[in-house]
Amino acid sequence: MDAATERTLIKAMLQPDFYDHPVEQVTLIETHISWVFLAGDFAYKVKKPVNFGFLDFSTLAKRHHFCLEELRLNRRFAPQLYLAVNQIGGDPACPEIHGRPALDYALKMRRFAQQDQLDRVLAAGLLGTRQLDRFAIMIAKVHQAAEVAEPEQPYGTPQAVIDPVLENFTQFGSLLSVKEYRKLKGLEEWTRKCCDDQYDILWQRKAEGFIRECHGDLHLANMAWIDNEPVLFDCIEFNDNLRWIDVINDIAFLVMDLDDRGEAKLGWHFLNLYLQETGDYQGLQLLRFYKLYRAMVRTKVLCMRLGQPGLSDTERKQDIELYHSYLALASSYTATPPRRLIITHGLSASGKSTFVRKLSDSCGFIHLQSDRERKRLHGLSATTSSHSPPGGGIYDDKANHATYERLQLIAKAVLTAGYSVIVDATFLKKLQRDRLRCLAAELSVPLVILDFQVAEAELRRRIQQRDTEGVDISEANMTVLDYQLAEQQPLTEEERELVLTVWPDTMPDEMAERLSERD
């Protein structure tokens, strides 16, 4: 499509009478790769005739192909939004929708309120843990149901991973100062070293089926909260290698996006529930690598935009400030903060999980839940009851041993990946606590015991309330509590030196401060 035809097409699509449905006004939204026309109840996306190497829409046939791909792929997430591919054709001087011969193609989508986009929900102060919980559960299900890359396919190999990562460092031209150029080279060196160090893990992730057909562009502006339901849209259609990726790479974009917007707590909240749903704690070994990659994707997109004509001075200034901020964010991911291992200690219904969930969000800790891991070992979902008696079924000595061994192994993987971890379990037996003390000593990380103190009468009241509501993943009832009271082994004097006590009125932010004082 030549420049004259391009101008004529845009002018035509900005007219309300161009469309075959009622339209009062048309609004144009332009990105570096497309024009989107908001017209009545629908939106029409036309791909720009551009070729950036990793993306090629330079011919009519390619634009048609990728419109069809975008329709097919996004119907996996939002069939209610993605409707059809419409041909635009006829006389180049007067294009018509459905006209012949074809001049170009438009993806037709059902329009939704722009304030429903998650970036706008966040900007309005309305994004909270409730919505992110729903997204974490949905995305976990999407990933678990996604098609797995075959061994003979190139996706997910170390070379397939590193190529797009390194490409991000080639898009800056003359925009950088000498100081920024040095920072960029430092980031590139860190990225190359990280990829070399994780070479075996990258192959392992592929062999174990973590390379799947994902969304590929999973950030807040491509997510929406519509009619109290989570919706994903606008996945990557133009490059298979950017879509067939590690599932951890997919969620890294969202976590990075929340970090960038000053909402790291929400990022940790999403990440923890996603990991609890999937059990993919091994993926943490690559999370910083992929978060840095995603920050650099943003800088690349900004640089491409800065290279296009038509930007106002204000827009150019904003984009330059943004890419500086993304470079700074990418640099922050190369640092590994001090690690610590925290375990809980307390009877069922003492509020451990609720407290630890909020503490983990505040402090950036990985939250392991014994109830989830126990049930995962036995092939049960978190909310499925095993109907086990106290000390029997999935709670007998053999199952307890396997559960705490699993918690130890996961905690080791998390700590080795460079993250602090809270292991959320009763830890009523000394042998269970000794396992984690040994792990802390082995990895030379400090151990903290959060000791939850709640009166027995209050524990019984909470269990009765929990049984009535029926929404907790714990199976502890009054009989279980009686069993725990009889079988528990109190903390030793040596262990008490590691204790921070959690009383019913202790606030997670207060505990976060007390933990920071121990650094």
For residue 485, the domain's CATH number is 3.40.50.300
Q: Are residues 10 and 71 both part of a single domain?
A: yes
Supply the DSSP string of 295-363, one letter for each residue: HHHHHHHHHHHHTSTT--HHHHHHHHHHHHHHHHHHHHTT--PPP-EEEEE--TTSSHHHHHHHHHHHH
Q: How far apart are CA 113 and CA 137, in angstroms?
A: 24
pLDDT at 1: 66
Residue 188 has what pLDDT?
93
Q: What is the pLDDT of residues 287-298, one digit of tens each?
A: 999 999 999 988
Together in a domain, 168 and 290 = yes
Give residue 6's pLDDT. Answer: 86
Which is more confident, 7 or 305? 7
Residues 284 and 141 in one domain: yes
In a shared domain, residues 138 and 217: yes
H/E element holding 257?
A: helix 247-260
Same domain, 302 and 356: no
Instruction: Give the residue ranges of DSSP H helices in 168-231.
Output: 178-197, 199-207
H or E element, residue 81: none
Query: Which of 411, 433, 446, 428 has its CA nearest to residue 517?
Result: 446
Check if the beta carbon of residue 323 is closer than 8 Å to that of residue 171. Answer: no
The owner of tokens 């709640």 is 454
Q: Are residues 283 and 326 in the same domain?
A: yes
- Among residues 296, 269, 272, the alpha carbon closest in space to that of 283 is found at 272
**For the chain, how many structural domains are there in total?**
3
**Contact at 8 Å (CB) between 44 and 82?**
no
- pLDDT tens digits for range 393-444: 999 999 999 999 999 999 999 999 999 999 999 999 999 999 999 999 999 9
Q: pLDDT digit string (tens) for 74-97?
A: 999 999 999 999 999 999 999 999
180 in the same domain as 86: no
Peptide bond into 101 cis (omega under 30): yes
Q: What is the pTM of this model?
A: 0.92
| 213 and 279 assigned to the same domain | yes
Are 393 and 266 found together in one domain? no
303 and 442 part of one domain: no
Q: Domain holding 101: CATH number?
A: 3.30.200
Last residue of a domain, one of 48, 78, 111: 111
The last residue of a domain, from among 111, 131, 158: 111
Query: What CATH number is attached to the domain comprising 196?
Result: 3.90.1200.10
What are the pLDDT digits (tens) for 108-148?
A: 999 999 999 999 999 999 999 999 999 999 999 999 999 99
Mean pLDDT of all residues in the chain?
A: 93
Q: Are residues 22 and 150 in the same domain?
A: no
Please tell me which of 286-295, 461-470, 510-519 the model is most confident about, judged by mean pLDDT.
286-295
Distance of alpha carbon 126 from alpha carbon 382, whole angstroms = 28
Where in the sequence is the domain holding 365, given as residue range(s)? 341-516
